[in-house]
Amino acid sequence: MVVLAFTVSESLSQIMPVSREPYGGNKRAWVGEQLGVVKIDISYNRPGVKGREGKIYGTGVAHYGFVDLGHGTTNGAPWRAGANENTTISFSHPVTIEGKPLPAGKYGFFIALGETESTLIFNKINNSWGSFYYDETQDALRVTVKHQNLPESVEWLKYDFSDETDNSVTIAMSWEKRRFPFKVEADTKGLQMAEFRSSYRTTRGYEDILVGVYWCVDNNYELDQALAWADRAISMRVMGEKNFRTLLAKAAVLNKMNRHEEAKQIMNEALPMGTSRDVHFYARQLLGQKMNKEALQVFKMNYEKHPEDYYTHVGLGRAYSAMGDYKKAISLMKSGLEHVGNDAAAKANITAMIEKLEKGVDVN
């Protein structure tokens, strides 16, 4: 007979931990936001005020300075800036906090509270309980900020994001009637370019390369690099391809660089390669740039080459509308209706444009 013997501890070790709510009635929370390519994530536990207004700060709940909490390995603990285990803040790329540099990483976040000023602490240790095991030698950064007094009490401690710009955001912790804001900044354009360069160090199809090209055009940033990437999209061995889309992207860069004649030559080569829809939307872009005469020429070419497509009629109608010739525009819109087929949405759109033109209103 075979006897199977298990100790209690062995059997219990096979059981999954019991799921339960956070200790002390605190709420677990996560918030995050992206600043350019920088991903910011905050994980924390939310204590409640629970009737303790005026008895939070400078008390055993949220003590001032660094104190001995009577537990753990430190005799000088800051406030844990939350509840239970470490509040953590992570940055996927380098940032500055209140103007001071902080490398990418995940940090335990603490606050050494004061009456009017407090010290925010970003510590390399992020997996401890509270601040009982805080080690100041592991501080990555300390910054001093002034807190803001709030007119109404915030019941549950929270972190939020505000005052967003292209390269900065304010993060704030709020609880009871105090708010602790700090400004995070990043070289968002430089970091984005670094991401593109890293991505393009391997085999990439021209579609991926055009993402970087148009980003540079849209942001008017490192246009020489954008032009080099456009040439790569056109002519790189195996993955490059000279087609309407790649030539259009190069022309966009050249136009941004005020090299308009070169861009025009590129587009003269590109237009015969484009589908009727490619050419239509390119001409729409010209209208958007108030290049009405150039748009008229392109719409005319498309109309003459593809008279069977309703949108070539509509496109040419848009061009005449932009030029103020509403009579021709109406005629072309109506001929577009005759070619539209069963596309109800297109019919409704063209009809609405005709009604505008009949009232003397430009449809662009």
Same domain membership, residue 88 and residue 155: yes
When divided into structural domains, the chain yields a total of 2
Same domain membership, residue 182 and residue 211: no
| Domain boundary pick from 186, 218, 247 | 186
Q: Let me know if residue 363 belongs to a domain.
A: no
- Its pTM surpasses 0.95: no
| Domain boundary pick from 167, 186, 205 | 186
Q: Let me know if residue 4 belongs to a domain.
A: no
Residue 33: what pLDDT? 98
| Domain boundary pick from 186, 209, 240 | 186
Same domain membership, residue 193 and residue 109: no
Read off the pLDDT of residues 52-68 as tens digits, 9 standing for 90 and up. 999 999 999 999 999 99
Same domain membership, residue 226 and residue 82: no
Same domain membership, residue 200 and residue 96: no
CATH code of 196's domain: 1.25.40.10
Residue 238: what pLDDT? 84
User: The domain containing residue 115 runs over which residues?
Assistant: 21-186
Q: Let me know if residue 13 belongs to a domain.
A: no
Same domain membership, residue 254 and residue 174: no
Which of 195, 196, 157, 201 shows the shortest CA–CA distance to 176? Answer: 157
Read off the pLDDT of residues 224-265 as tens digits, 9 standing for 90 and up. 999 999 999 999 988 899 999 999 999 999 999 999 999 999
Same domain membership, residue 43 and residue 116: yes
Please give the chain's pLDDT, 364 residues, in tens: 444 444 444 444 455 565 555 556 788 999 999 999 999 999 999 999 999 999 999 999 999 999 999 999 999 999 999 999 999 999 999 999 999 999 999 999 999 999 999 999 999 999 999 899 999 999 999 999 999 999 999 999 999 999 999 999 999 999 999 999 999 999 999 999 999 999 999 989 999 999 999 999 999 999 999 999 999 999 998 889 999 999 999 999 999 999 999 999 999 999 999 999 999 999 998 999 899 999 999 999 999 999 999 999 999 999 999 999 999 999 999 999 999 989 999 999 999 999 999 999 999 9
Q: Let me know if residue 109 belongs to a domain.
A: yes
Residue 244: what pLDDT? 97
Same domain membership, residue 207 and residue 145: no
* Residue whose entry in the numeric block shows the structure tokens 């509403």: 326
